Structure 1
Amino acid sequence: MSEATPAEFSLLLPVYRADDPAHFTKAFTSSVTAQTRRPAQVVVVQDGPVPSELTAAIDQVVADSPVPVVHHVLPENVGLATALTSGLSVCAHDIVARIDADDISLASRFERQLPLIEGGLDLVGTGMYEFLDDVGSIVGQRIPRTGQTEIEDYARFHDPFSHPTVVYRRSAVDAAGGYQAMGLMEDYWLFARMIASGARVGNVVEPLVMYRVGAGAYARRGGRDQWHSERALQKALLGIGFTTRAQYLRNVAVRGAYRFVPEPVRRVAYRRLIARGPGIARAGEH
């Protein structure tokens, strides 16, 4: 009996004016050239005009890429949710992997994730290392929940997937209504709707993506705008029946208060509570 042919997949990489050209190049090469299992296509979706240095970096990776690249340019900056929706529309394959323009994929990432998708899952994430601008400066590690039930339970309080790590079926994304704007939480809102619509989900515990936490990473999670986004998200989750009234009140109280604490406290709180979830502990965590 012959083995099944490995599925082809697209890589979706958004970029916009504030992205660093060197970081973008590293994100691209680590997710394409350096992979032990490469995507069959890359879609670089450019969200509005970008500086000349970034344009040059995009042109260079397109010219050097070992796989076909679609440079999909949006004439105006429309925001991540709309940009990703537009990028998905030009992906040639139903299976789509994500990476952000300032993060790094480890070489075995897709070799580890794709078999789970080929085995029947609709959405698969991985663990992540958090690092400062120096790749050698790892400052944290996110360990995701695994298994359908554990992920679904955890999703009632916190996003169970790290967006730059995911591989998903575009058909499952479409079935859930696609990306929709929700502050900095459009990914959580999408993944919750995917779970609610019956998507089969999983995570690889091993960190296979390096996530850059430079200046402002925690500052962006706080403030009045993020409070309004948080409240809108929690109302939306309650509205589709994803959370109960009690869970809604808990989430607004805990996650809402998190938006207003000082940034140093927010950093600690994220690692000890928000990233873990209430009442959930894992071996090796203290």
Structure 2
Amino acid sequence: MINSYPEAVGVIMATYGGDRADRLERAITSIVAQEGLEHLQVRLYIGVDGPVGDEIGAVLTRWEPHSAIIIRRFPVNRGLAPVLNDLIAGLSDEPFVFRMDADDVAHPLRLRTQLEYLLANADVDILGSAITECGADGQRRTVNYPLSHEEIVRALFWRNPIAHPTVCFRRRVLDGTGGYPVQNLSEDLAMWFLCAQRGYRFANLPQQLLDFTVGADFWKRRSVQRAWREYLVWTRGVWALHGTSWRLAGPVARLAFRLAPEWLRRRGYASSIRRPMKP
């Protein structure tokens, strides 16, 4: 049984000077054009993380008069977690809050599909979905994630089991955690560990509800520094959930993989676990 629809839902998105204006335009449009939600308002909260160029500024200026788009500009670039937390603190009365990235595309029924699932499954607090990765070479790959809460928590020691830009939170999660742990990189992973520790329940939908952009600089951004910070988040999270456990080998294995030659990482990234790349 589906409970009654809320009057509004929120979507939080951050953008910064390194984003591409055309992709930001595409991302905003995909949220504004969501289908099947004529009975409620979709409020898009956009946080501008520091200075941006004229092209991104023009996109934001064009959309700012839209009645359901709230843009907050922050003068200094601080990173994703602080911006998302400021957007969360400025939300209105929306009982469900979706995440969206500034270079991805939400499928037309994404919000409706996730909202209906959450209304019918009161025990689920955090809901993601499968994604379609869109490479710079035009290739597309379906990426699947574990579906049930138990599978997601089991997988958490060795992979990120939820695609961050696909997530919908019940508002009680954001109120209960105080938002994202503030750190440099891996905010989503730290959030999943925090939520697991607090007893919130996860789920993923098997449908591909978002096109995830893999830019040409994807591999360049997989730096040693980033790998080390990710390792620390993973190790602390696994320790908090399981204490002294064989699962602590998971973060070590991931660190070794992150430090492997690029050709090996590319091959692993396209492995059958995530489904092979399709033309």
Output the TM-score relative to the length of structure 1. Answer: 0.86
Residue 264, structure 1, aligned to residue 266, structure 2: no
Q: Which moved more, 1:173-182 or 1:139-148?
A: 173-182
2:234 and 2:251 in contact (8 A); partners too: yes
2:33 and 2:108 in contact (8 A); partners too: no
Aligned length: 269
Q: For 1:70-89, what per-residue CA distance to the aligned partner results, in whole angstroms no more than 9, with x for missing partners?
A: 11111111100111111111
CA gap 1:36/1:243 in 2 versus in 1, 3 angstroms: farther
- RMSD of equivalent CA atoms: 2.2
Q: Report what 1:215 is aligned to.
A: 216
Q: Report what 1:279 is aligned to.
A: none
Q: Report what 2:128 is aligned to.
A: 125
Q: Report what 2:58 is aligned to.
A: 56
CA gap 1:110/1:196 in 2 versus in 1, 3 angstroms: same
Report the 3-state secondary structure (helix = DSSP H, G, I; strand = E; otherwise coil) of the residue aligned with 1:161: coil
Q: Report what 1:6 is aligned to.
A: 5
CA gap 1:235/1:52 in 2 versus in 1, 3 angstroms: same
TM-superposed deviation, 1:242: 4.4
One-letter amino acid matched to 1:100: D
Q: Which moved more, 1:255-264 or 1:81-90?
A: 255-264
Q: Which runs of 4+ in 1 moved over 6 A?
A: none
Q: Report what 2:194 is aligned to.
A: 193
TM-superposed deviation, 1:4: 4.2
2:32 and 2:42 in contact (8 A); partners too: no
Report the 3-state secondary structure (helix = DSSP H, G, I; strand = E; otherwise coil) of the residue aligned with 1:251: helix
Report the 3-state secondary structure (helix = DSSP H, G, I; strand = E; otherwise coil) of the residue aligned with 2:127: strand
Q: How many angstroms apart in 2 are the aligned matches of 1:150 and 1:69?
A: 36
Match runs of 1:1-286 below 5 Å: 4-7=3-6, 8-37=8-37, 39-63=41-65, 65=66, 67-92=67-92, 93-118=94-119, 119-120=121-122, 121-133=124-136, 137-221=138-222, 223-242=223-242, 244-248=244-248, 250-272=249-271
Q: How many angstroms apart in 1 are the aligned matches of 2:208 and 2:149?
A: 19
CA gap 1:270/1:240 in 2 versus in 1, 3 angstroms: same
Q: How many angstroms apart in 1 are the aligned matches of 2:103 and 2:23?
A: 5
Q: How many angstroms apart in 1 are the aligned matches of 2:31 and 2:204?
A: 18
Percent identical among aligned pairs is 25
TM-superposed deviation, 1:244: 4.4
Report which structure shows greater RCO (CA 8 Å, sep ≥6). 2
**Structure 1: gaps (5+ residues):** 277-281
2:185 and 2:230 in contact (8 A); partners too: no
